[in-house]
Structure 1
């Protein structure tokens, strides 16, 4: 825990970490609405009984409470799910128990193996093995086509290389909202990976909404330097989100997770 965190109240620390807990919960469920419900349940449990945080720093304790709720619910498929999304959820259910949860904690949320062990209730060696198993299993995820919406050339080329090395086909790179729509019409992608702020000051969110309106629902991953702005829970927000600066591991994990899901909620600025 940093000196600054040590000087904060538990309530202040919870407020700081809640947006990132939403990110984790949304990635687990592939859904903003379902993920936010799990995050809210974790916060409510802590507010009712602060002793659940005893012996842990606030961040680790918060994620441990969420994991306990998630595990006790049996990582459920949402009622009413059908078609490709239901198949995706069932596919996820076949993965080694706790492996995907551990991988997300390690790559997206930045927890150490020791903290992951505390969160999911295993020892450190097993936590390391779960992350390793998840990497192997997620590498076998569905292959598909990916559109990249990114106005910074170096970042776009880096993402293109990572996605290509995973075995996915990149349909192209768009720098503006109009370019994205044109590219999507010419070569319909299975997944969209989009920055928020584009070259002509247009919005990646608007570009994605245009594409989903024309092409139908498909998974989307947003990349942003300000993730807290899209993790408020106050309006439609992304189910999959990567923070800048990102790591190769984070991109691989997010793309693999998102490829399992066949829909994403439409967003609004």
Structure 2
């Protein structure tokens, strides 16, 4: 890959990896598609469109590769976990354009026009697809959500979003110890977690403690996403950046519950 092209793409790769994980449901599968995308560029740099912004071109190529290698019911990709394989098979049976549209326009910040360019569709389809995505979110299985956040206004915003989607707020925790105690007590079906907490403790450590007791999908929300996108350790599948768009949170909740077949049901 020419050095100038590498420099143009480098700032967008951590974000593409985040998007790939959210779209496919896991780090292993998401990173596999990103590697395939990069290998295609190395093999033939001309596959990357040069008449559009590098980020749009990169995501557009990723989508072409991802759309062309969807797994069928009996297909397998080496290295996928059972949960990731199940998630891929589910995606193969669904119309996924609405989810892609919501992730591209909210999590990744693309304009309607650029999202349409990435997906290879007419821009007039973006708004209806967004409406379909929000309607799908509203149909999600109801669950109980633990919010780990030390800023009262942010925790209030998150609580409102959770309740708007039809879920219940199991508890709001401001410290690591409070979070672990609430998780054991409430057994939530989803966790929304900040990284830096009120007493200087870590939301990452709180989540590790929680996951040592039982399995639950986790969405991290942080002002410093690069701290978790290092590639040096297992990374969160769902990672949102502060300040967040409420639609982004809704999309992440939808994706997290979609890829988790054992989300707790509210009584």
TM-score (normalizing by structure 1): 0.87
Which residue does 1:34 correspond to in 2? 29
Of 51, 54, 59, which aligns to 2:55?
59
Q: Relative to structure 2, which stretch is displaced further, 85-94 or 44-53?
A: 85-94
Q: Kindly report which structure 2 residues correspond to 1:1-269, keeping only aligned pairs within 5 A, or say none.
A: 9-51=4-46, 52-74=48-70, 82=82, 89-214=88-213, 216-262=214-260
Quote the Cα distance in structure 1 between the aligned partners of 2:71 and 2:152. Answer: 39
Q: Which runs of 5+ in 2 are unaligned?
A: 262-267
Q: Offset of 1:48 from its aligned partner?
A: 2.5
Q: Offset of 1:127 from its aligned partner?
A: 2.7
CA contact (8 A) 2:137 2:165 kept: no
- Give 3-state SS (helix, strand or coil) of 2:16's partner: helix
Which residue does 2:265 correspond to in 1? none
The verdict on how the C-alpha distance between 1:41 and 1:152 changes in structure 2, with shifts beyond 3 A counting, is: same
Quote the Cα distance in structure 1 between the aligned partners of 2:190 and 2:68. Answer: 31
- Give 3-state SS (helix, strand or coil) of 1:148's partner: strand
Q: Relative to structure 2, which stretch is displaced further, 40-49 or 116-125?
A: 40-49
Quote the Cα distance in structure 2 between the aligned partners of 1:75 and 1:156. Answer: 38
Q: Offset of 1:230 from its aligned partner?
A: 1.2
- Give 3-state SS (helix, strand or coil) of 1:241's partner: strand
CA contact (8 A) 2:71 2:89 kept: no
Deviations 1:95-115 (A, max 9, x none): 324221121111110111111
Quote the Cα distance in structure 1 between the aligned partners of 2:76 and 2:183. Answer: 29
Q: Which runs of 5+ in 1 are unaligned?
A: 1-7, 264-269
Number of corresponding residues: 254
Q: Offset of 1:130 from its aligned partner?
A: 2.0
Quote the Cα distance in structure 2 between the aligned partners of 1:229 and 1:113. Answer: 29
Q: Offset of 1:36 from its aligned partner?
A: 1.3
- Give 3-state SS (helix, strand or coil) of 1:96's partner: coil
The verdict on how the C-alpha distance between 1:86 and 1:46 changes in structure 2, with shifts beyond 3 A counting, is: closer
CA contact (8 A) 2:70 2:92 kept: no
CA contact (8 A) 1:99 1:133 kept: yes
Q: Relative to structure 2, which stretch is displaced further, 124-133 or 198-207?
A: 124-133
CA contact (8 A) 2:177 2:206 kept: yes
The verdict on how the C-alpha distance between 1:168 and 1:92 changes in structure 2, with shifts beyond 3 A counting, is: farther
Quote the Cα distance in structure 2 between the aligned partners of 1:208 and 1:138. Answer: 24
- Give 3-state SS (helix, strand or coil) of 1:53's partner: coil
CA contact (8 A) 1:222 1:241 kept: yes
